[in-house]
Amino acid sequence: MAKSNVLKVEDLHVSYGPIKALRGVSIEVNEGEIVVLIGANGAGKTTLVETILGITHVSAGRIHFMGEDITHKKTEHIVASGICLIPEGRGILPLMSVMENLLLGAHHFKGDPSENLKLIYSLFPVLKERTNQMAGTLSGGEQQMLSVARGLMSAPKLMMLDEPSLGLAPTIVKELFRRIIDLNRAGYTILLSEQNARQALQCAHRGYVFGTGEIVLSGNAQKLVSSSKVQQAYLGGSCE
């Protein structure tokens, strides 16, 4: 079954001044997949997702989304065409209420956001409970939920999550990955960047392994999990 291509990154080069953050990175995400980026801190995963969203300038290479070239487009257009990023550290607005954060997620949504709100509330009843609370007073796990829910409000064609498990308790992390799988089953295409390599690969279809700005390994997620190279470098011992 040929899946349509949602995201195609070709030979991307990104620099921060004299520092080369990405050197010739190419990845692909197809419809209905969960694709995982794993690798150490600073290897370039965050740079990649931020560049896809148009936040960082591209020195060379191309980014295609749903067939359209979005390489040098502005963030607001990229978000409007259907990509959302749930950033590392949640990126919610602590001084605004849960409901307002959600409404902000629908900023580009054409149409009545209240339908989306209903759907969100049914998926995440906790958020409905706390709908008027200030987002800053939520627990870490709830904030992560809010962040994901906010992304969903725009009915995105591609959801990118940057290190969603960061700072969360292990039981919450398990729950988080379950939710990600649920969302995927509901039809969302997901690009996930994670340091928590084992759990991320276990729920994904395919994966890319990052090492200092380059892709060093890629392929089927289950094969990557069992690959000895990956196990040594990224899955470590029982710390995971």
Cβ closer to another protein: 39 or 156?
Answer: 156
* Beta-carbon count within 10 A of 75 CB: 13
- By CB under 8 A, tell whether 125 contacts another protein: no
- By CB under 8 A, tell whether 72 contacts another protein: no
- By CB under 8 A, tell whether 103 contacts another protein: yes
- By CB under 8 A, tell whether 69 contacts another protein: no
- By CB under 8 A, tell whether 190 contacts another protein: no
Binding mask 131-150 for another protein (x = CB under 8 A): -------------------x
Cβ closer to another protein: 20 or 108?
Answer: 108
Sites for another protein among residues 1-40 (CB under 8 A): none
Beta strands in the chain (DSSP E): 5-16, 19-30, 34-39, 60-65, 68-69, 83-86, 158-162, 190-194, 206-211, 214-220
* Beta-carbon count within 10 A of 97 CB: 17
Cα torsion 226, 50, 58, 217 to 10°: value is: 0
Question: Are 234 and 39 in contact, with CB atoms under 8 Å apart?
Answer: yes
CB of 202 to another protein, least distance (A): 28
**Cβ density class 203-222: b for 16+ within 10 Å, e for less:** bbbbbbbbeebebebbeebe
- By CB under 8 A, tell whether 102 contacts another protein: no
Bridge partners (DSSP) of residue 27 are 9
CB of 169 to another protein, least distance (A): 24
CB of 237 to another protein, least distance (A): 35
Give the range of 3-11, 17-25, 38-46, 91-99 binding another protein by CB under 8 A: 91-99
- By CB under 8 A, tell whether 75 contacts another protein: yes
Tokens, residue 138: 């939520």
Beta strands in 70-129 (DSSP E): 83-86
- By CB under 8 A, tell whether 96 contacts another protein: yes
Query: Exposed (0-12), middle (13-18) or buried (19+): which is 12, by Cβ within 10 Å?
Result: buried
- d(Cα 78, Cα 71) in Å, to the nearest integer? 9
Amino acid, res. 53: L
- By CB under 8 A, tell whether 93 contacts another protein: yes
- By CB under 8 A, tell whether 108 contacts another protein: yes
Q: In this chain, which of 7, 21, 25, 78 binds another protein, going by CB under 8 A?
A: 78
Binding residues for another protein, rule CB under 8 A, total: 24
Cβ closer to another protein: 151 or 213?
Answer: 151
Q: Which residues bind another protein (CB under 8 A)?
A: 53, 55, 74-76, 78-80, 85, 87, 91-96, 100, 103-105, 107-108, 150, 154
